[in-house]
Amino acid sequence: MNELWDATPFAASGRFSGRRLHLGVSGSVACYKAVELLRAWTRLEMAVSATLTAGARRFVTPLLFASLGADPVYGDMFDPGQEVFAHLEPGENAEAMVIAPASADVLSRLASGAASDMLSAQALAFSGPLVVAPAMNPRMWAHAATRANAERLRGRGVVLVGPDSGEAACGDRGRGRLAALPEIFFAVLRALAPQDMASLRVMVTLGPTREPWDGVRYWSNPSSGRMGAALAVCAWLRGAAVTAICGPGVRCRFPAGVTRVEVTSAAEMFSAAADIWPGMDMGFFSAAVADFAPERPADGGLGKYKKSGAPEGFSIAFAPNPDILKSLAASRRPGQRVLGFAAEIVPDMESLLPLARLKLERKGADEVAANPVNAGHGAFGAEGASMAVVDRTGHGEIWSLKNKADIAWDLCSWLLRI
């Protein structure tokens, strides 16, 4: 599970600190997974309250949720010591509400407007964004009554996440499993995020490129794509339609709403980006594109070049790759905005500003973010980075080391203001 969250941009971020969320948990075998969601949101320093239905309490206990940071944790409507108006409290204090898992019975109650238990009453009295993640036997999900309830909820603006297909606890196979936890996690963050990019189409290039030399060897760099993934997720959280053009080896997980295009070489990335760019409003060019590619051996480079073929060694010639950022920035239509990146080895952060300004002018970008790739400064693959950021108005700033998700948020906000 830790690996799952490690590959999820915004699993560590300060942007949602202090936001208030109410979590509803209903009776489903999957309800133990809600504990992982609670932990993921509290790691962001969000305030999370919870309600466990009677069915949920057959699988998990209120004490478990309370011990992991949920406060308060509600049970039945008329439990001794329960506040008289506990069914109204989430609607007064929480900024978003999520029910995960949501059983077929809960869907029915929500759709009909029932208020006969604590969770359904809280949902009925909640006027903010509501995210619901169904989980049930595939035959129950396929029933016309359940599907009608789901469609009724969607029609009211409720965000439904899943269910997914797979094997249910009973052994049946089909659609009914609780959605992947990162999908629920992302959906809730999107419900809490400002939708200031809702009308925008955004393209992001990210990760390394690999330039083949023979059939098994290539020229590349250790970029992980973390920065670009954070930008793609940030734009999606804020409402944009996002296409991510990913170089090889990018393991970061995107929400299902992000379109992912896989490429390998700089030429492939340029071709994919050139096709997509005319329909975009913003381009985030964060990929660590190889500036040069090795010229292939005389035999075409399809086999493996062996040591026996060059016992005294050999030289490799390199040819320049297409400049994706400069080419697409030059071809943009009015209104398109461009964010470029620069990775530099410098003695100090102050040295980055003139280099960033030079790249801004050479590439024709609206904004350039430059980061040192010296050891200890947030080099390739790190969770954080230091940045020198400049824009076409002449403004420049130096940002000390911080999480790449938070950098992405600030870069998007900056570009929106230009």
Q: Respond yes or no: is residue 31 known to be catalytic.
A: no
CB neighbours of residue 168 within 10 Å: 22
| C-alpha closest to that of 337 among 235, 264, 405 | 235
Residue 373 to residue 382: CA distance in whole angstroms: 10
Residue 260 to residue 234: CA distance in whole angstroms: 15
Between the CA of residue 272 and those of 101, 246, 264, 330, what are the distances in Å?
Answer: 39, 10, 11, 17
Q: Is the dihedral of CA 100, 105, 110, 115 positive or negative?
A: negative
Pairing of strands 164-167, 173-177: antiparallel
Q: Which two tokens stand for residue 366?
A: 């609206």
DSSP-derived letter for residue 213 is S
| C-alpha closest to that of 321 among 261, 243, 251, 264 | 264
Q: Is 206 helix (H, G, I), strand (E, B) or coil?
A: strand
**Residues in CB range of 364: below 8 A, 6 or more apart:** 326, 329, 330, 338
| C-alpha closest to that of 132 among 168, 108, 114 | 108
The three-point CA angle 291-331-321 to 5° equals 15
**Choice among 31, 170, 252, 412 that is catalytic:** 170
User: How big is the chain, counted in residues?
Assistant: 418
Q: Is the dihedral of CA 218, 219, 224, 230 positive or negative?
A: negative
Tell me the catalytic residues.
170
